[in-house]
Copies of this chain bind each other. A is one copy, B any other.
Amino acid sequence: MRTLYHPETKDIQLPAVLYALSDPIRLKLVSQLSEDAETDLELSCGELDMGVPKSTLSHHLKVLRESGITRTRLAGTQRFVTLRKGDLEGRFPGLLGAVTKAMAEDETKTTPDR
Chain A residues in contact with chain B, CB under 8 A?
Answer: 14-16, 18-19, 21-24, 27, 91-95, 97-99, 101-103, 106
Question: Which chain B residues border A93 with CB–CB below 8 Å?
Answer: 98, 101-102
Please indicate which of the listed interface residues A14, A19, A101 has the most CB atoms of chain B within 10 Å of its own CB.
Answer: A14
Which B residues are CB-close (under 8 A) to A98?
92-95, 97-98
Query: Copy number of this protein in the oligomer?
Result: 2
Residue among A24, A27, A92 with most chain B CB within 10 A:
A92
Which residue of chain B is the closest to A25 with respect to CB atoms?
Answer: B15
Residue of B nearest to A67 (CB): B22
Between-chain CB contacts (< 8 Å), 15 pairs: A14-B102, A14-B106, A15-B23, A18-B18, A18-B19, A18-B21, A18-B22, A19-B19, A22-B22, A92-B98, A92-B99, A93-B102, A94-B97, A95-B99, A98-B98
